[in-house]
Chain A
Amino acid sequence: MSMTKRGKKPMSIRARRAITGYLFILPFILGFLVFMVRPLINSLYMSFCDVNPNGMTMTWAGMANYKYAVAADPEYNRLLTEEISRMIVNTLATLVLSFVVAVILNGKFKGRTLARAIFFLPVIFSAGVLLGLDSNMLGVEAQNTLMSGIGDAIQESGGVNLTQTLQDMLQASGIGTRAFQVVFNIIDSVYDIVIASGIQIIVFLSGMQNIPASLYEAAHVEGCSGWESFWKITFPMVSPLLLVNAIYTIIDFFTKSNNQVMEKISKVMYANYKFGVASAMSWIYFGVSILMIGVASLIITLGVKNVE
């Protein structure tokens, strides 16, 4: 950088800086080669092989594992498409929710610190094994006895289930049943979405706090209402973070351990001992997730350019 342009012998200083730089990132290079590249190549090779679980001998099988995963396995395709559509809906919902919450938490009100602390809780308590326990064994409804209790009470007293009735009414009206279905799915998974948006809220919040206050003051002096300055200042200034958050959300969603495709892969691998098929499945999955991240980045980059 600017350092390299100084000094009497710029070439040698530059070379020295480069060597120092390499020394700094050496741990990563070592780890990447030993613990990432090697197993990756191994797993890629395995996905083209028929692996015998006793003794782990491999015989070349060409595309057979991929064909099996896509065409013959009864569940894989369905799970994959389900996860992708859930991912799209959840990512959009997470972005909207975390943005709204960040806007709220950015304002001044009593108990703001407490609210921030609470919204950040799920980052800690809904990770790893706890998340798996929540979704697999208890389930939100089952564990949420209070909520279901309230639901039952409403149903008993009024003889109707509120959301169900609303759902029936809206669907009976015949407009865009599918669109409503998406909305209801979001409402059903609101808990998952809130729990998954801790980091995203922080990212948006940090962006909002970095907007200079003078911009708002100028807008206020010029007679801008709060609503207008939100759309003219806050939104454009924060919109580049949409990309970061979208990518983070997609990766988070794809690598979560309670993801159905992940579970399926582990099952094929450790319960059925089909290492080759499992590797092929995870490579397809990996390809799809890269593709999704690429598409999302493209859409958001174009969208942000339009906003600006």
Chain B
Amino acid sequence: MSNEATRHEAKRQSFWERNRKSHGMLLKRTVGQGAVSVVRGLLLFGLCFMIIQPLLMKFSVSLMEERDLYDSTVTLLPRHLTWANYELAASDTLLNYWKSLFNTFWISLTTAVLQVVSCTLVGYGFARFEFPLKKFWFACVILVIIIPPQTISTSLYMYFSSFDILGIIQAITGHTLNIRDTFTPYALMSATCMGLKDGLYIFMIRQYFKGIPVSLEEAAYVDGCGAFHTFRKVMLPDALPIMTSCFLFAFVWQWTDRFYTNNFLRGFSTLSSNLPAIQQRLNQLKSTTGQTLQVSTTRVQQMISTGVIMTIVPLLILYVFAQRGFVESLSTSGLKD
């Protein structure tokens, strides 16, 4: 005990001793560092809290029984725990959860794969080849990033109801195709870099390829490898991190996308198309069970919170496992110019 005390004493003395020797610089620095970490801790905690709190709140609300919502003494934690909200939200009447989940999953997966494949090809083309009008086409990529998709949505929608490629289909079958409400238009758009945020992916992938030294490719060319073979064997393995990143972004953003889903995938029951309809469906549900009163706003919010939680849980799982894929490749290569 005393031994420890003396050691402590010695340490403290030596601190003041050293401080005296450094003409007060040591104290100044220690206090400064302490202050910095306190401020940093507070700021980080505050901001992180602000980001996470709504999620936690939604989760908590989703577990409450309806009477807890009207009980003003219940604020943070549910008093009567229940899974009933999840069962209701998963049912056919609200989200049709399992079917929507399945649809959302395969749509996101297919479009993300198509987007990554096409954007990687295009990004590589822009990064490594010199060809006439290259600046012009790259300006077009930037244009694709900038143009709000809303500008062209109506025209596209009308276009897909009488779809044709340069009159070829009409020449063969005698009429144009109505591919509205099928998956085809959106798959075609994703495969040709016109899907959700594809301009951004092209830009990111191009930056990434530009950061890789050309010596490997030159060696491959010298050894008689063709351009496509070199791309597949030499460049693709190097590009895996950025492709993973873009795939994850494409998957996640498609999962929650509302605009493209509303415009081009009306025939499919997806999570993002069902979520906004919850309010209306709740009211319908109430009117079919014989009650005429409107469903209370709080109740609607509760069911929406439940739906949101159910929508993001798969993403959360993905994020936990693939967090490195999201962040690291961006911070090592990045969106820099």
Chain A positions near chain B (C-beta within 8 angstroms)? 1-4, 14, 17-25, 27-32, 34-36, 38-40, 42-43, 46, 56, 101, 104, 107, 109, 115-125, 127-130, 132-134, 137-138, 140, 142-147, 149, 190-191, 194-195, 199, 202-203, 205-207, 209-210, 240-241, 243-244, 248, 251, 254-255, 257, 262, 265-266, 269, 275, 278-279, 282-283, 285-286, 289-290, 293
Contact A130 B311 (CB under 8 A): yes
* CB nearest neighbor in B for A209: B331
The one of B75, B255, B323 in contact with A146, judged by C-beta atoms closer than 8 angstroms, is B75
- Give the residues in chain B near A27, CB-CB below 8 Å: 118, 121-122, 191-193
Q: A202-B331, A257-B258, A283-B151 known; A244 and B336 CB under 8 Å?
A: yes
Chain B residues proximal to chain A, CB less than 8 Å: 37, 40, 43-44, 47-48, 50-55, 57-58, 75-76, 118, 121-122, 124-126, 128-132, 134, 137, 140-141, 143-152, 154-156, 158-159, 165, 188-189, 191-194, 202, 214, 217-218, 221, 227-228, 231, 252-253, 255-259, 272, 275-276, 279, 300-301, 304-305, 308, 311-312, 315, 319, 323, 326-327, 330-337
| Majority-rule SS of A interface residues | helix
Whether the Cβ atoms of B148 and A255 lie closer than 8 Å is yes
A132 to B256, CA, bound (A): 10
Known: A124-B315, A128-B259. 15 other contacts (CB 8 A): A3-B214, A21-B131, A27-B191, A31-B191, A32-B140, A36-B194, A109-B37, A115-B44, A128-B256, A130-B311, A138-B301, A145-B57, A191-B50, A244-B336, A257-B259
- Chain A residues, CB < 8 A from B143: 36
Bound state CA distance, A23 and B248, in angstroms?
26
Contact of A129 among B124, B227, B272, B301 (CB under 8 A): B272
Least CB distance from B323 to A in Å reads 5
User: Residues of A contacting B131 with CB < 8 Å?
Assistant: 17-19, 21-22
Q: Is the CB of A42 within 8 A of B159?
A: yes
Task: Tell me, rounded to whole Å, the shortest Cβ–Cβ distance linking A106 to chain B.
Answer: 10
